[in-house]
Amino acid sequence: MKIYDRPGFPNSSRIRIVLSEKGLDDRVEFVSVDLIGAEHKQAPFLAINPSGKIPVLELDDGTLISESTAITEYLDHLDGHPVLTGRTPREKAVIHMMQNRAEAELMGAVDGYFHYATSGLGPAMQPYVAPEWAGRKEWGERQRARVIRGMNYFDGVLKNTPFVAGDAFSMADITVFASLDFAGAAGISIPDACKSLIAWRKRVSNLPSVKNRTGRDFLPEDLKRFGL
C-alpha cells in the first residue's frame, strides 16, 4: 500500500495514528506531497484525487481511497477486528456522530481560520484557497470563534466520559486530537477553563499509537519555509 501525505499536517497525522494503532506502519510506503508548494493542486496529483487533498491511500491493486474517515474505515477493518470505528451498531453510530462533529466544529473550523484569517500555507497556495473578498478575514475570525465553541463542547463531553465517543479510544478521538494540534499551530489555544479537554489531550498524547507514530513532526524544509 501507498499513502500520499505530508508529515506534520493534521489529516496526515490522523492516518499515521491509525496505522500505529493497527500495527500497519511497515506495510505502507509513504509518498510525500509538497503542500506548501501546492503540489496537491496540480494535474498529476489531481489525477489521483480530484479534490486535491491529502491523504490518499493507494491499494496494491491500484484502488485509490481518499478522505481520512474512509481510509480509517478501510485500515481498521483489514484484520477483521475493528477497534477505532465501532463493532456494534450503537458503537458505530456514536463514533460516526462524534467524528462528524469533530470534523465540522474543530477540524473544518480551524482550516477556515487558518486559510482565510492568516497567511495560511503561503503564496503558492493562495490562488487555490478562494478569491479575495471584503469579508474574507472577518469570516475567518468567525471560524476561530467556532473553534473555541467546539473546544467548549468537547470539554463538556469529556467531563462525563473518558473518550470522545464513550469508553474506548476511537476515530473521533484521533480527529479531535489532530484538530487541537492544528489549532495550536494556527495560534488558537485551548481555553484554560476547558480542564477536561486539556486533561484528555495530555492523556491521549501519551498513548503508544499517538506518541510513537511515524512522521509526527513537520519536515525540516517545511519548518524553514514556514519561517520556524
pLDDT of 159 reads 98
Distance CA 87, CA 128 (A): 39
Distance CA 124, CA 118 (A): 14
User: Closest by alpha carbon to 167, among 86, 222, 105, 99?
Assistant: 86
| Sheet order of strands, 64-66 included | 29-32, 2-5, 56-58, 64-66
Does residue 226 carry a pLDDT above 90? no
The model's pLDDT over 108-133, given as tens digits with 9 standing for 90+, comes to: 999 999 998 988 888 888 888 866 66
Does residue 145 carry a pLDDT above 60? yes
Identity of the residue numbered 53: K
Distance CA 172, CA 27 (A): 24
Q: Taking residues 175-203, what's their average pLDDT? A: 97
Q: Taking residues 46-61, what's their average pLDDT? A: 97
Q: Taking residues 150-169, what's their average pLDDT? A: 98
Q: What domains are defined for the chain?
A: 2-82+213-226 (3.40.30.10), 89-207 (1.20.1050.10)
pLDDT of 28 reads 96
Distant-in-sequence, close-in-space partners of 35: CB < 8 Å, separation ≥ 6:
6, 9, 54, 121, 125, 222
Task: Judge residue 179's burial from the number of C-beta atoms within 10 Å of its C-beta, 0-12 exposed, 13-18 middle, 19 or more buried.
Answer: buried
pLDDT of 132 reads 67
Q: What is the dihedral of CA 125, 126, 131, 137, to 10 degrees?
A: 120
2 bridge partner residues: 29, 58
